[in-house]
């Protein structure tokens, strides 16, 4: 028995010396942290810092080279199917099927996540309503705006009430209005299902607004970890997280690394 | 942080066949729904096999000396063309898997708790549905051209079984190729390169007895030959099987199971 009672355990995600190599390149280098249940946690770093690779390992999409990680009490390498049953994952690329309607996409997820048949349509309708997509549910997803598609994917990823919702750059490419709407819906959703939220971004303002804690990632390593206030504190009251990042890593977020 | 947490509804430890079927059918059904949104795709793909029957079949029918037994050449050709159209639809299935990977849709499947085998079998069944839809068009066309079809219910159910199996076999084979080559450009080249030998090194358009010995050997290990042989037995009134109907079924089933096992291991790595 490896499952830990989630209410008794303090952390829902644990990474210990997590490492991933691609040939000679070390994409993620001995990263350790733990994330508490219902915490909102951001991974911040420039493109190529290793955020996506880290998230792929935590969501079982990529096996770690060394080190270990567990999510909801299950080991990502040894019990991937159990991990997947307890998480939602919104990947960086649009994963909703453009050739299906919003409702059909939701129904596909409901069946893949084994939502009991009798509850399926009720839960799908409720999730669509919560994300403000009821009016668009019968339209093909390729006609959706970027923000609408993101909201649909978040609804698809949380239909089974996961313990952790992972989102890889959830608001990249969205206009400020679209970003605000996505976050308003995510916060509402978190109040309802109480999931921990782990997301990557390179928008510092976004991280400062919505996060409990932030991990700064640079060159595959964990450069700093703390609440936005703690990280700023070390650099003076007027410092932004951008300043913190520059002070810690000697590079900036925008130009900090090679493109992925 | 004392928030009420809803427990996930999934993550049951025991393997349940009902759950497996739900997930498999979910994958296949998504494809069927897409087909319903865009049925023109089926019609356009049916043009090529109809041309084979209409042009190739009519001309070659006048050639004496093709050892097709008592059947006319058109009767001999019809099951071959049916098998060919199933092959041509299924063999490009890997391309759509790569396409789904590039779009990001594949992630939606892979992050779900569905067993990888359910995803692979679901995709294979989706290809079977396409294959069956194609077959309907070819049946109508063959009947209009006067091919001596059998409409015995048992024979028709048998034909359906062969088409489902063969579609699953070739689409899963295609999925494995996709997992190896990983890009659309490379797949396009290889897809063309594969279909022609599979088609010509089989009994689809001429009897194996006409082949030189080396080609005969290849055609005997070519799964398409067993599909055509089974179809020739079941599709035509008074049709006969060269290898034995149950042998044909068993050969296709075993190759399909082996390919599904391989694809189940390779499919998740398409995203790496």
Predicted local confidence at residue A237, as pLDDT: 67
φ/ψ of A79, rounded to 5, equals: -130, 55
Q: Please give the interface size between A and B, counted as residue pairs whose CB atoms are below 8 Å apart.
A: 123
| Closest alpha carbon to A14 in A209, A196, A154, A223 | A196
The nearest alpha carbon in chain B to A89 belongs to B111
pLDDT in tens, B251-260: 999 999 999 9
A203–chain B Cβ distance below 8 A for any pair? no
pLDDT tens digit sequence for B88-138: 889 988 999 999 999 889 999 999 999 999 999 999 999 999 999 889 989
At B234, is the pLDDT very low, low, confident or very high (cuts 50, 70, 90)?
A: very high
> Are A200 and A31 spatial neighbours (Cβ–Cβ below 8 Å)?
no
Of the candidates B22, B26, B113, the beta carbon closest to that of A84 is on B113
Could you tell me the mean pLDDT of each successive run of 10 residues in chain A, 260 residues long? 47 95 94 94 90 94 95 95 95 91 97 95 94 95 94 94 94 86 89 92 84 92 90 74 77 52
* Mean pLDDT taken over chain B: 88
pLDDT for res A129? 93
Q: Does residue B218 belong to the interface with chain A, where contact is any CB pair within 8 Å? A: no
Determine the residue among A114, A144, A157 to mutate to test chain B binding: the one whose Cβ has the most chain B Cβ atoms within 10 Å: A114
Per the model's pLDDT, the better-predicted residue between A93 and B164 turns out to be B164
Residue B155 to residues B82, B131, B150, B159, B237, Cα–Cα distance (Å): 15, 17, 7, 6, 9
pLDDT of B14 reads 57
What confidence category does residue B5 fall into, taking pLDDT thresholds of 50, 70 and 90?
very low
Q: In this model, does residue B177 exceed pLDDT 70? A: yes
> In chain B, whose CA is at the least distance from the CA of A196?
B5
| pLDDT confidence band for B70 (50 / 70 / 90) | low
B6 shares contact with chain A (CB less than 8 Å): yes
The answer to whether residue A89 neighbours chain B at the CB level (below 8 Å) is yes
Q: What is the mean pLDDT of residues B45-61?
A: 84
Mean pLDDT check: name the lowest of B32-46, B59-73, B228-242.
B59-73
Q: Residues near B217 by Cβ (< 8 Å), separated by ≥ 6?
A: none
Across the interface, of A38, A39, A108, the residue whose CB is closest to B26 is A108
pLDDT of residue A10: 67
Mutant choice from A99, A117, A195 vs B, greatest count of B C-beta within 10 A: A99
Go through B208-240 and write b for each residue having 16 or more CB atoms within 10 A of its CB, e for each that does not.
beebeeeeeeebeebbbbbbbbbbbbbbbeebe
Q: Residue B26 and residue A37: Cβ atoms within 8 Å?
A: no
**Comparing A242-246, B158-162, B236-240, which segment has the lowest mean pLDDT?**
A242-246
Contact with chain A for residue B32, Cβ under 8 A: no
Interface pTM (ipTM) of the complex?
A: 0.85
Q: B111 contacts in A (CB within 8 Å)?
A: 59-61, 84, 87-89, 91, 157
Chain B contact for A104 (CB, 8 A cutoff) = yes
d(CA B208, CA B221): 12
In this prediction, residue B12 has a pLDDT band, given cuts at 50, 70 and 90, of very low
- Helix, strand or coil for residue A32? strand
Q: What is the pLDDT of residue A228?
A: 87
Candidates A81, A95, A111; nearest CB to B115 = A81
Q: Does residue B11 carry a pLDDT above 60?
A: no
Contacts of A112 in chain B (CB under 8 A): 23, 26-27, 109, 112-114
Chain B residues whose beta carbon lies within 8 Å of the beta carbon of residue A156: 108
Q: Which residues contact B179 (CB under 8 A, 6 or more apart)?
A: B94, B97, B263, B266, B267, B269, B270
* pLDDT at position A90: 93
Closest-CA residue of chain B to A74: B11
């Amino acid at each position: 028995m490896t499952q830990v009672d989630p209410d008794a355990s303090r952390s829902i995600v644990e990474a210990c010396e997590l490492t991933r190599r691609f040939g000679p390149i070390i994409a993620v280098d001995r990263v350790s942290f733990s994330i508490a249940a219902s915490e909102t946690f951001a991974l911040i770093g420039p493109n190529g810092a290793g955020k996506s690779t880290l998230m792929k390992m935590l969501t079982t999409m990529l096996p770690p080279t060394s080190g270990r990680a567990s999510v909801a009490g299950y080991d990502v390498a040894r019990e991937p199917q159990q991990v997947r049953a307890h998480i939602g994952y919104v990947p960086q690329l649009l994963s909703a099927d453009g050739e299906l309607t919003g409702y059909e996409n939701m129904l596909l997820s409901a069946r893949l996540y084994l939502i009991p048949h009798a509850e399926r349509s009720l839960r799908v309708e409720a999730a669509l309503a919560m994300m403000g997509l009821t009016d668009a549910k019968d339209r093909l997803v390729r006609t959706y705006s970027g923000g609408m598609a993101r909201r649909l994917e978040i609804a698809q990823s949380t239909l089974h009430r996961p313990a952790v919702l992972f989102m890889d750059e959830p608001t990249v490419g969205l206009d400020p209005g679209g970003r605000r709407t996505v976050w308003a819906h995510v916060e509402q959703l978190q109040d309802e299902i109480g999931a921990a939220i782990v997301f990557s971004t390179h928008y510092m303002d976004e991280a400062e607004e919505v996060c409990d804690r932030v991990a700064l990632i640079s060159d595959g390593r964990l450069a700093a970890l703390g609440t936005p206030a703690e990280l700023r504190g070390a650099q003076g009251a007027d410092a932004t997280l951008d300043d913190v990042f520059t002070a810690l890593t000697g590079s900036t977020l925008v130009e900090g690394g090679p493109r992925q | 942080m004392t928030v009420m947490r809803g427990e996930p509804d999934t993550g049951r430890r025991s393997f349940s066949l009902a759950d497996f079927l739900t997930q498999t059918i979910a994958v296949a059904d998504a494809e069927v729904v897409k087909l319903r949104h865009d049925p023109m795709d089926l019609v356009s793909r049916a043009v090529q096999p109809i041309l084979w029957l209409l042009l190739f079949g009519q001309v070659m029918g006048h050639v004496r000396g093709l050892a097709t037994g008592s059947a006319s050449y058109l009767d001999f050709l019809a099951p071959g063309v049916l098998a060919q159209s199933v092959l041509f639809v299924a063999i490009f299935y890997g391309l759509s898997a790569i396409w789904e990977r590039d779009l990001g849709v594949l992630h939606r499947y892979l992050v779900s708790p569905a067993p990888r085998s359910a995803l692979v079998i679901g995709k294979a069944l989706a290809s079977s549905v396409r294959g069956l839809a194609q077959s309907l068009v070819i049946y109508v066309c063959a009947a209009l051209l006067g091919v001596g079809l059998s409409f015995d219910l048992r024979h028709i159910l048998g034909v359906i079984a062969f088409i489902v199996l063969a579609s699953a076999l070739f689409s899963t084979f295609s999925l494995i190729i996709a997992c190896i080559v990983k890009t659309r450009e490379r797949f396009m080249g290889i897809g063309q390169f594969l279909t022609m030998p599979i088609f010509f090194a089989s009994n689809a358009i001429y009897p194996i007895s006409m082949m030189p010995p080396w080609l005969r050997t290849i055609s005997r290990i070519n799964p398409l030959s067993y599909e055509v042989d089974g179809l020739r037995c079941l599709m035509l009134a008074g049709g006969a099987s060269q290898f034995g109907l149950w042998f044909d079924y068993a050969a296709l089933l075993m190759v399909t199971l082996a390919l599904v096992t391989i694809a189940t291991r390779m499919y998740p790595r398409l995203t790496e």
